[in-house]
Amino acid sequence: MSSSYPKAVDHVSKQRRPHFGINRGQRGRRVVNVPTMLLLLLVFHLPACCPKLRIPNEELDQNDVLWRDKKISNYNFTVSKMTMGTWSILPLVTKVRNGKRISTEVIGDPGQPMTRVESFEDFATIDKAFETIQESFNSGYSVNATYNKDLGYPEKIRLDPGPGFIDNAFIIKITDFEVVKE
């Protein structure tokens, strides 16, 4: 049965008010504004989904080239990590052969808290350290690194995710670097 009375019109719902790329279409259904949604996805998800997006850093590139030109694949080094202002994690001696880590040994006072070797995975080799520095630049971290002037490897790396992350900055030191002849 149809009524002879005119239907009430809700003028508010008929207005087109975009809200983050979603509009109200016919019959109140939500209609996605595709270009707006694509732009939002690109802006907010590109750094997370594409870690290989590379932000250039001249000092990093120069030292990476110097390191690679030396073609050092057998070496030992000590790596230490400072967090929240103290060297709270024991240093590790890492041995690398043919560019791959073959052993990691915790050194230091046995009375100190134990070191989790996983916390050093990003610095397992010098090549991995260069990758970690580049990924940190790409992710928007504040990065400050000093490099060995003769071989190019990073000697001290300070990584800070930014002001919104309290006490998340840390410093990595690579010391006792030794080329192994085999």
d(C-alpha 121, C-alpha 106), whole Å: 14
Q: What is the pLDDT of residue 19?
A: 47
Please say if the pLDDT value at position 36 is more than 70.
Answer: no
CA distances from 7 to 1, 3, 11, 24, 26 (A): 14, 9, 12, 20, 16
The domain spans of the chain are 11-49, 58-179
Residue 98's pLDDT band, with cuts at 50, 70 and 90, is very high
Q: Tell me what the mean pLDDT of segment 162-179 comes to.
A: 81
